[in-house]
Amino acid sequence: MKPLLQINEVTHTFHDGDFELTVLNKLSLQVNVGELVAVMGPSGSGKSTFLSIAGALLTPTGGEVTIAGVSLSGMKAQMLAELRLKRIGFIFQSANLVPYLKVKEQLLLVAKLAGMDAATAAKRAAELLERMGLTHRQQYYPDKLSGGEKQRVAIARAWMNSPSVLFADEPTASLDAMRGQDVVRMIAEEVKAEGKAAVMVTHDERVLPLCDRVMHLKDGALIEDR
């Protein structure tokens, strides 16, 4: 199997004056094509730190992250930004939609930033909106959408540039059980349909059956649930 995400002995220590906190300690993880992996762990265990490092938003103090065969070690800021735009999708706990853009425009904007031509972008946006059940909402502004709809727009936007790996930090936190399962099912289906991979931080036990693997962050490393 081909790994889309490879994390090798990543360590992260926050320094704050004299104060030091090692949050991740030789954490390793490999995620293959078609896999949706859940990461659980108590508050403060380092889940968001881990996700930020895996998603190239934060550089670890030690170890190596490789995405779709490309190592992030020593990469310059501009290349990292390009990689984030084209290879990585990120869904935050709150959907983080742009308030003054309509649903369809949210998707077209990231495509434009990545240099996709307008016709290809329009076709891809239409397909994704259809798959997420949002076609009838494409001309809505975010403040007119329900919580579940907003999260689905965030997923569609994260998929727009066909990233190799999608990272989601508690994407169901603000949703009820049914909407939460819908959202995770959408992510699982996209991962399988497009041959991508996803890592999702979650506290929500009800979505675990939809994941291929469940990992627990403990003492700075990931342990698999079997």
Ligand X SMILES: Nc1ncnc2c1ncn2[C@@H]1O[C@H](COP(=O)(O)OP(=O)(O)OP(=O)(O)O)[C@@H](O)[C@H]1O
Binding region for ligand X (CB under 6 A)? 14, 16, 21, 23, 41, 43-49
49 binds, among ligand X, Mg ion, none (CB under 5 to 8 A by kind): ligand X
From the list Mg ion, ligand X, none, pick the one residue 161 interacts with, judged by a Cβ distance below 5 to 8 Å according to partner type. none
Of these partners, Mg ion, ligand X, none, which one is at the site of residue 46 (CB under 5 to 8 Å by kind)?
Answer: ligand X
Minimum distance of ligand X from residue 208's CB (angstroms): 16
- For CA atoms 187, 109, 111, 132, give the dihedral sign: positive
Q: Is 45 in the site for Mg ion (CB under 5 A)?
A: no
Q: CB–CB of 38/200 below 8 Å?
A: yes
Q: Which helix (H) or strand (E) holds 177?
A: helix 177-194
Q: Does 48 bind Mg ion (CB under 5 A)?
A: yes
Comparison of 7 and 125: residue with beta carbon closer to Mg ion = 7
Rounded Cα distance between 163 and 89, Å, is 6
Give every CB contact of residue 54 below 8 A, 6+ residues apart in sequence.
5, 7, 29, 65, 165, 167, 199
Q: How far is the CB of 217 from ligand X (least distance, A)?
A: 7
175: three-class secondary structure by DSSP: coil
Burial of residue 13, with CB atoms counted within 10 A of its CB: 0-12 exposed, 13-18 middle, 19 or more buried: middle
Tell me how far, at minimum, the Cβ of 47 lies from ligand X, in Å: 4
16 interacts with, out of ligand X, Mg ion, none, CB within 5 to 8 A per kind = ligand X
Q: Which does 117 bind (CB under 5 to 8 A by kind): ligand X, Mg ion, none?
A: none
Q: Among candidates 130, 198, 135, 133, which has minimal Cα distance to 163?
A: 198
Which window, 7-15, 42-50, 103-111, 217-225, contacts Mg ion (CB under 5 A)?
Answer: 42-50
* H helix runs in 15-65, sequence order: 47-54
Least Å distance between CB 222 and Mg ion?
A: 15
- Min dist CB 91 to Mg ion, Å, is 13
Q: If contact means CB under 5 to 8 A according to the sort of partner, which of ligand X, Mg ion, none does residue 133 touch? A: none
Contact of 91 with 155, CB cutoff 8 Å: yes
Residues engaged in binding Mg ion (CB under 5 A) = 47-48
